């Protein structure tokens, strides 16, 4: 009789603990978000003393992402078609998927998979934008540092596979600093 009471007590206590954990997971709501980011690298180059020349500031000037929890669909746009020098003008569009992993409280690591299309080049420092057509896929790895719950700085590096005056495999370093906010 004593063993029956001990076993029934253990079973009841284990089942009550498991129900508490399940309830907390089942009723957790997902969090939708929208992010808008702008490339602030040109502004930073103007503010740095003795910066005489503005190098290429990265492929994208504007980024928009929307999603739920850690997953997001994203869109990016970069262009400079009003340049006086034909080798400085470019235009790029990206569309893809992004996964955000929280590392610590204010720091997020993100990975992305994008389709790129455009012309001119990647707008990188010390590189000429002279490609006729850019069509390909890119895998990205980046970081976002949140100053508040809605405001953040981010940067991203890409591994590009596609056309750029022929087929290429290219690593695009994180040359741009993006300032963004969540809506």
Read off the pLDDT of residues 119-178 as tens digits, 9 standing for 90 and up. Answer: 877 777 667 667 778 899 999 999 999 999 999 999 999 999 998 878 889 898 888 899
If you average pLDDT over each of 19-23, 24-28, 56-60, 163-167, which comes out highest?
Answer: 163-167
Residue 18 above 90 pLDDT? no
pLDDT band at 20 (very low <50, low <70, confident <90, very high): very low
Q: What does pTM read for this prediction?
A: 0.76
Cα–Cα distance measured from residue 3 to residue 68, given in angstroms and rounded to the nearest whole number: 50
Cα–Cα distance measured from residue 169 to residue 162, given in angstroms and rounded to the nearest whole number: 7
Residue 25 above 80 pLDDT? no
- Residue 121 is predicted with a pLDDT of 78
Cα–Cα distance measured from residue 42 to residue 55, given in angstroms and rounded to the nearest whole number: 9
Q: How far is CA 58 from the centre of its chain?
A: 14
42 or 9: whose pLDDT is higher?
42
155 or 83: whose pLDDT is higher?
155
> Are the C-beta atoms of 144 and 154 separated by less than 8 Å?
yes
The residue-averaged pLDDT of 14-18 equals 50
159 or 56: whose pLDDT is higher?
159
Cα–Cα distance measured from residue 36 to residue 72, given in angstroms and rounded to the nearest whole number: 12
2 or 47: whose pLDDT is higher?
47
Q: How far is CA 55 from the centre of its chain?
A: 22
- Which domains are assigned to the chain? 31-182 (2.40.160.20)
- Residue 78 is predicted with a pLDDT of 87
The residue-averaged pLDDT of 39-43 equals 85
pLDDT band at 95 (very low <50, low <70, confident <90, very high): very high
75 or 6: whose pLDDT is higher?
75
13 or 6: whose pLDDT is higher?
6
């Amino acid at each position: 009789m004593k063993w029956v009471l001990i076993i029934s007590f253990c079973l009841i206590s284990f089942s009550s603990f498991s129900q508490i954990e399940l309830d907390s997971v089942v009723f957790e709501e997902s969090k939708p978000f929208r992010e808008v980011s702008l490339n602030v690298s040109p502004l930073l180059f103007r503010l740095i003393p003795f910066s005489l020349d503005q190098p290429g500031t990265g492929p994208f000037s504007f980024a928009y992402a929307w999603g739920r929890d850690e997953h997001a669909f994203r869109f990016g746009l970069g262009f400079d078609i009003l340049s006086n020098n034909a080798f400085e003008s470019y235009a790029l569009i990206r569309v893809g998927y992004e996964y955000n992993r929280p590392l610590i409280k204010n720091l997020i690591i993100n990975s992305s998979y994008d389709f790129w299309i455009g012309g001119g080049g990647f707008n990188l420092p010390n590189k000429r934008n002279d490609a006729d057509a850019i069509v390909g896929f890119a895998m990205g790895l980046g970081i976002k540092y949140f100053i508040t719950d809605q405001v953040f700085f981010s940067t991203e590096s890409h591994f590009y596979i596609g056309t750029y005056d022929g087929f290429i495999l290219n690593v695009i370093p994180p040359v741009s600093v993006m300032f963004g906010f969540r809506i």
